[in-house]
Structure formats: structure tokens, C-alpha cells
DNA sequence: AATTCTTGTGAAGAAAAATTATCACTTTTC
DNA sequence: GAAAAGTGATAATTTTTCTTCACAAGAATT
């Protein structure tokens, strides 16, 4: 059952939303401010949070980055009464997955909620890919260098890679290229040029972030 | 030199922005619509794109996802005359890094541009140096599980980890914990509780991103 | 107070996996 | 036809992981 946490200081709205979400076959819970939301999230796993941006105590704008840091997979939709473009942009920059202004039609909210969850599902299925191979691949510096070479020069041939890596034994490079290919981090086009796959590209992106800490 | 591409159908604004950006020590170029922008991006590497959302031909909203798919590292700031919350949210969802409504003060634009570029610099700076231990660490699924356990429950004791991993031989867990400690991904407090180090925390965050591609 | 159980740590050798070196071969290019 | 590019398989080597034993500190039990 998909669990949704409703965070709003307006008790009426909260109860109303909980009821609507229940009717829509979700499993909702609610919190009255940011602190309570953090507590609920710590004790229970939620798929999505509906977060009011302005609340007494800890508001949604402060809570949002905390939630996203600790539970990046949990989707967050911001709700707000006073809608400004700046506010919306700020919320999205802080990691909100969507943004809805009050008053809203229940149906619009449900549409947004479902869309968010669909995206989550899409992401989750990618997780099925065995990450083990991916990480095993990345454990080797020759292979990491190969990936970053291919990031820089979009396409390279076998011997180009060998020379750029400054490795005299070309069969050794071949060995590593095969492993990279098996992990689907790179692929070959018709002319035997090696290039990063979509997955390889993403990985390389993430590598940048990791490497800079 | 930081290269910026200004994409707007209004020639006056375009020339104006190019001049301002030049004065601010950037290296600007410009395009009159989405197609032209794509062409310029293909032939030249840009660090940032200022993209008008509404243009004859191909508008910014269509161009944005194309740019972001092909050049994920290139920052994109959307510019738009008719500002609606929905429009801003849509742009951010499509991968814009920021959003500015016209008319804007030149200074505000420069502030936004510089902030975007700072973030880019942070991501880009890392070369793959002495990350070897870190990646070797992550290559093992037991260790990855350990890290994510510690992400969930902030602190854990040795035997807690052993049981949660469902491993009967505790010395095996000890072996992996030592490796994690050596790689500075986790640390122990005075009461022998294991917890993620700052580095470990960052890695775990990245892990989330990697896992979802 | 002695002992038993649980927790926690370390280390050496065995087993498994990853990496390298070597050889053998095909295809492409000049 | 010779040189270079490219691929694959196998044995040797190195690294990683697992197993087993050994030991110490603290809590709980007798």
C-alpha cells in the first residue's frame, strides 16, 4: 500500500485530505508541522509527502531539504497558499518533486500525486539492474579512467584507448573493456568505436559528485 | 573562460545581454531560437544557457529537455515574460537549474548566473584521484548494505549490524567494518557505536542517485 | 566469587575472485 | 603481403573474501 504523509497546520484540511486519500486507496498519515513530520518519517517509511510550505514551528521550506537529504527516494509535493514564482522555484531547487497552490481541486492533487508516484515506480524498476556489477566495475581505476576518457572524447577506438591509458599490453585493456561492456557502461557502434552508454553517462555524472568530497 | 549561450528571439535583449555578460567577464554567444541553440551547443561547449521560454519556431520549453538530455552538465536558466507558477514548476521539472521572470534587473540575473556556475564548479572539480579505496569499498555489497543500514539507523553497535545483515559469522562483519573504517566511510564514537562519517554520508547520498539510474 | 554468555577485536591460512601475462588468432589497413 | 588493430582463451599471479582460531572486556547468572 502506498503511504502518504500529509503535513499541514490546518487540521480541517489535514483530515479532509486523509479521508480523500484513503478513498483513493492510499494509506495516509498526517503531521501538524515539520518536527512532527520528521518524527513520523523516522519511524515509518513513506512513499510521498504532501508538505505545506508555511506552518508555525518548522515550515515546509525548512523541512523539505531535511526530508530530501535523509530520504531522497521519498517524493515531496509542496502545497502553498501564497503562490509566487520565486517560492515555487525555490521549492523545486530544494528538491520538491512538484508544487501545488491552494486552493486546489482535489482531483488536480490526485493527478499530481499519481504522476509523482508513477515516476517513483519508474525509478525503482531501474534499481533492479544489478548494481553489483556496476560497483565492481568502478572499483578498478583503469576502468574508471577509461570511462572518463570516453566522457571527454565522445568516441574512441580500441588502440586509442590503449595508448591514452598508457598501457603497453593491449590485451589487458581488452579485458577491462569487456567488463565495462558486460556492465553496460559502454557500448560499441558499427565502426567499433567505443562510447559511453546511457547508463555509463549517468554513472560518470555521479562520479563527479562523489569525487568532489 | 566561462561560456554562456543567450537564447532569445528579441534581438535587442539578446545583444544587450551579450554586452552585459561580456563586461562581466563571461564569454557569451547567442541564438535566436531553439534550433539555432541546439546547433551552437553541438559545435561548441557551453557552461550555461539562458533560455527564453517562448520563442517562434522552437520555444525554450521544448528545447530545455533536449539540452538537458544531451548535455546534463550544462546549466540552464529559463527566462520568461509571462510568469506563472505552473510554468516555473514545469520548467524546473524539466531540468532547469533556475528560473527568472522578465523584466529582471541585470544584477539579479548576474547573481543567479554566478550561483548556478558555482554549483557547476563544485560538481566538476573532481578528478578521479585516490578514490581507489572508496570505490573498492563500495564494490562489496555487504559493505554497501552496512552503509545504508547506518544511514537508516543513525548509530548501531557491532552485533546489531551483524544481526541486521543476517550474517552468522560476526568476524566476517568485523572484517568489512575495518575496511569501511580504513576508507573513512564510517567511524566509531566513544561508546563503540558505529556511524557514518561525513564522507560516508556524502557517498551514501550519491549512492542513491547512482542506484536510480 | 566464580562462571557463563554476549560483545567486540585481531590475525593467519584457505578459498574465491579479480587481474595480469602470454599465446593464438582474425580482420582491417596500407 | 606485411603491419597494425582488434578479440578471445588460458594459466599465473595478486587481491579480496571467507573461515577458523584466539583472546579480552563487560554483563548476567549461578
- Residue B157 CA distance to nucleotide C4 C1' (Å): 22
Ranges in chain B, pLDDT < 70: 120-130, 206-213
CB atoms within 10 A of CB A4: 25
- CA-CA distance, A46 to A14, in Å (whole number)? 16
Residues 112-171 of A with CB under 7 A from strand D: 157-160, 170-171
Measuring from the CA of residue A192 to each C1', which nucleotide is nearest? D6
CB atoms within 10 A of CB A175: 12
Averaged confidence pLDDT in chain A: 85
- CA-CA distance, A44 to B98, in Å (whole number)? 33
Measuring from the CA of residue B160 to each C1', which nucleotide is nearest? C7
C-alpha cell at A174: 581488452
Verify if strand C has an atom below 7 Å from the CB of A16.
no
Measured between beta carbons, the chain A residues lying within 8 angstroms of B85 are 83-85, 88, 99, 101
Residue in A69, A135, A141 closest to B132 by CB: A141
Coil/strand/helix, residue B75 = strand
Quick: pLDDT tens for A105-147. 999 999 999 988 887 665 543 444 467 888 899 999 899 999 9
CB A67 within 8 A of CB A94: no
CB atoms within 10 A of CB B134: 20
- CA-CA distance, A87 to B163, in Å (whole number)? 45
Verify if strand C has an atom below 7 Å from the CB of A175.
yes
Verify if strand D has an atom below 7 Å from the CB of B134.
no
Residue A30's pLDDT is: 94
Locus of grid cell 522578465: B102
CB B120 within 8 A of CB B47: yes
Residue A192's pLDDT is: 85
Taking CA atoms, B99 is separated from A27, B88, B109, B159, in Å, by: 35, 7, 10, 50
Quick: pLDDT tens for A150-195. 887 878 899 989 998 888 899 999 999 999 999 888 988 878 889 8
Inter-chain residue contact A88 with B89, CB threshold 8 Å: yes
Q: Is the overall model pTM greater than 0.85, yes or no?
A: no
B1 touches chain A (CB under 8 A): no
Which letter does DSSP use for residue B111 in this model? H
Angle ∠(B162,B166,B170) on CA atoms, nearest 5:
35
CB atoms within 10 A of CB B81: 11
Give A97→chain B minimum CA distance, Å. Answer: 7
**Taking Cα atoms as reference points, which of A64, A63, A44 lies closest to residue A3?**
A44
CB B77 within 8 A of CB B112: yes
A105 touches chain B (CB under 8 A): no
Residue A42's pLDDT is: 84
Cα of A23 vs its chain's centroid, Å: 28
> What is the band of A206 on the pLDDT scale with cuts at 50, 70, 90?
low
- CA-CA distance, B87 to A206, in Å (whole number)? 28
Among chain A residues, CA nearest to B153: A42
What is the SS3 assignment for B145-186? HHHHHHHHCCEECHHHHHHHCCCCCHHHHHHHHHHHHHCCCE
Amino acid at each position: 500500500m502506498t503511504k502518504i504523509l500529509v503535513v499541514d497546520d490546518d487540521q480541517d484540511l489535514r483530515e479532509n485530505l486523509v479521508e480523500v486519500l484513503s478513498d483513493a486507496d492510499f494509506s495516509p498519515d498526517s503531521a501538524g508541522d515539520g518536527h512532527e513530520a520528521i518524527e513520523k518519517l523516522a519511524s515509518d517509511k513513506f512513499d510521498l509527502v504532501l508538505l505545506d510550505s508555511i506552518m508555525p514551528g518548522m515550515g515546509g521550506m525548512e523541512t523539505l531539504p531535511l526530508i530530501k537529504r535523509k530520504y531522497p527516494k521519498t517524493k515531496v509535493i509542496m502545497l502553498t497558499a501564497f503562490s509566487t514564482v520565486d517560492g515555487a522555484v525555490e521549492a523545486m531547487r530544494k528538491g520538491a518533486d512538484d508544487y501545488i497552490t491552494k486552493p486546489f481541486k482535489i482531483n488536480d492533487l490526485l493527478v499530481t500525486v499519481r504522476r509523482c508516484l508513477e515516476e517513483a515506480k519508474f525509478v525503482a524498476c531501474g534499481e533492479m539492474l544489478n548494481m553489483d556489477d556496476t560497483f565492481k566495475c568502478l572499483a578498478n581505476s583503469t576502468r574508471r579512467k577509461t570511462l572518463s576518457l570516453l566522457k571527454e572524447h565522445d568516441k574512441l577506438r580500441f588502440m586509442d584507448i590503449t595508448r591514452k591509458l598508457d598501457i603497453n599490453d593491449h590485451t589487458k585493456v581488452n579485458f577491462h573493456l569487456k567488463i565495462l561492456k558486460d556492465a553496460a557502461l559502454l557500448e560499441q557502434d558499427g565502426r567499433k568505436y567505443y562510447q559511453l552508454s546511457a547508463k555509463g553517462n549517468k554513472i560518470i555524472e555521479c562520479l563527479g559528485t562523489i569525487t568532489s568530497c
